Structure 1
């Protein structure tokens, strides 16, 4: 709309009779003009059976009945009552009651049916009966008169049926639109949830891959610094371990980022997904960093589902990484207890050589371990031991063992 131009008044009649933007203002004027012409055309047929120009009484009745039609948007029942009252004046003023004359009543009946189905079901038949109540019924009434009066009764009834149909269609379309809106909102929420879960998963994988290697490299560098003056050969070995550890960290990071940059769902990892089968290699890397790790296993080990196997490996890796980070050299114990329906993993340290906590925000190691355990239906707890040190305990569910005979 150009600047400074007056606003246009537009509106559309809703099922409840209100106006909404979308329909041009002239539509209401067209409806009123058409109804007036139809009502006035009914006066062409005279009571004596002849045809001619509408008398003055026809103009008066048409104006009175059409003047109340704008009320149908706010008060359709009152509009129907007033147009019915106008129809009752047709016979007393000498006009012939025809279907065209009651066109305003039909418009009001339609508006009432669209807005209020219950009131329309009671008011429209009453209005149709009242319209023909002023016509004298006698034995000399011809079949043409009966047909005409029957049509007069049918006009508001048919308009009411059309209004009910429109109301039902609007209600159906509204329900379909609401369901579509809810479905779209649900899809958006589901997409946001999946994106958030994927971000957490990526962050957790990067943390487990990189933090483990960086912590080992830091521990190995500290060992090299401590023995630099007294044991040069051990210093060289520690520096070689640092080089190997950082190289592995770069390879893991490059592989992970490469997987994230690929498209498609069927993406094969560059290396097998780690599990408890790689536990000896993992423990050896910690031993080279100065952490003595012992393993105690009870029960009969059996193959694990891929998700549970990866979770068990990552939890042990992160727990030992935390021991290396906060305790440095010392001893740690890893326990694996296999039962019928669960695997219990414990990682504990002896609490010796505990380094003072640096002044930095807490990490996400424990949070990531709890999320991993919960993702496969397990539980994880972490607490300080009364005798010193820290204990991480995890219960992971196992598939039921099928008995064989």
Structure 2
């Protein structure tokens, strides 16, 4: 087992190191301009400029170290620096640090659950309330409006972060839902393909085998033709199954050869198989024949295949008619027979359901039911956009 490559050194350095290096650079540049810079930094009493700079450097460095693991500690450090800076001459420093604490509260609400982000948001609120109460208790001048503004800013920061987190969770939920729907749709597609392919093949094989069994002694030539039809149907079904399995294993580094997707050009083979099973199929073509998108060709072929299979297995009719109509706005297929069947085994199959689902996926219309004069009719209209016609 080979070890994973380690990232470059610069990417392995934590954020705290980068922030500390930035402040060291700032201090080094200032030291070149003023030789007593270090002394002024560490003797900040009465130093209007350098005291807040050192405090800000320390606080931001600690925040960068704690940000991604201990957000509560990062907020606490920032608030401690804010309270400490109240005695300095630069009055803007406490507000800058408090707003930094607000930003940390928003980041925490956006990345952590409620049970963690709410207590973190209460830290700045408690600090403001406690400090204001202390000032009022000791008779120091205090601005309640400023305190309310600071509390409101912390609340707004939490709300913004919480909304960001909810939006991200919603997007993730939509992505998972779309993934589940795609998996379900693919499973239904595979189920339809297997049903159409296997049901047709098994139906034809069963009828041919029964016919061959009955005439084996009296009409050996016809029995031989039945066996030949069984062999042809079996080979075609196996080729279709290999194609489907090849599509399911398309990530295989050495995929096997795949058979072409069936379409309307394969209706001749379907007619021959049905004729061998004792049902004569008449195909009528209407309109100007043209090449259609593969999904439309496949859906049309499977609909005709399933309908003809139902005629062979359930109707008792000796013939049926298939109409393929190429229209300007799409393709219409119709299969009618004059038998006594109901389109499939009553309540036991998924053929009509599968045909309806295929048409629905292409946003077409489908109907199936008994004819007024007897027999059964299956009809489907498959829309084809003009730009998709080749």
SS of the aligned residue for 1:194 comes to helix
SS of the aligned residue for 2:355 comes to helix
SS of the aligned residue for 2:335 comes to strand
1:6-405 to 2 correspondences below 5 Å: 86-87=137-138, 90=139, 97=140, 124-125=144-145, 157=146, 159-263=147-251, 270-328=258-316, 330-351=318-339, 354=341, 361-400=347-386
Name the counterpart of 2:40.
none
Residue 86 of structure 1: how far off its partner (Å): 3.3
* Cα distance in 1, alignment partners of residues 182 and 380 from structure 2: 26
* Cα distance in 2, alignment partners of residues 341 and 248 from structure 1: 32
* Cα distance in 1, alignment partners of residues 229 and 338 from structure 2: 25
**Contact 1:290–1:328 (Cα < 8 Å) also in 2:** no
* Cα distance in 2, alignment partners of residues 346 and 398 from structure 1: 17
Residue 185 of structure 1: how far off its partner (Å): 0.8
Residue 281 of structure 1: how far off its partner (Å): 1.7
* Cα distance in 2, alignment partners of residues 215 and 286 from structure 1: 10
**170-179 vs 233-242, which moves further:** 233-242
**Contact 2:336–2:376 (Cα < 8 Å) also in 1:** yes
Q: Deviations over 1:89-120 (max 9, x none)?
A: x4xxxxxx4xxxx6xx6xxxxxxxxxxxxxxx
* Cα distance in 1, alignment partners of residues 172 and 271 from structure 2: 49
Q: Deviations over 1:292-340 (max 9, x none)?
A: 0011222222221222111111111111111112135611100122332
Q: How many residues in Structure 1 have an aligned counterpart in Structure 2?
A: 279
- Structure 1 gap segments, 5+ residues each: 1-21, 42-71, 91-96, 106-122, 126-156
User: Greater CA radius of gyration, 1 or 2?
Assistant: 1
Residue 379 of structure 1: how far off its partner (Å): 0.8
Residue 73 of structure 1: how far off its partner (Å): 11
SS of the aligned residue for 1:241 comes to helix
SS of the aligned residue for 1:386 comes to coil
SS of the aligned residue for 1:320 comes to helix
Residue 84 of structure 1: how far off its partner (Å): 7.2
TM-score by length of 1: 0.59
TM-score by length of 2: 0.61
**289-298 vs 224-233, which moves further:** 224-233
Structure with more of its chain in helix, by fraction: 2
**Contact 2:242–2:258 (Cα < 8 Å) also in 1:** no
SS of the aligned residue for 2:289 comes to coil
* Cα distance in 1, alignment partners of residues 378 and 282 from structure 2: 15
**Contact 1:223–1:290 (Cα < 8 Å) also in 2:** no
- Structure 2 gap segments, 5+ residues each: 1-70, 88-122
SS of the aligned residue for 1:184 comes to helix
RMSD (CA atoms): 4.0
* Cα distance in 2, alignment partners of residues 82 and 161 from structure 1: 15
Are residues 249 and 306 of structure 1, via their aligned partners in 2, closer, same or farther at CA, if it must alter by over 3 Å?
closer
**315-324 vs 77-86, which moves further:** 77-86
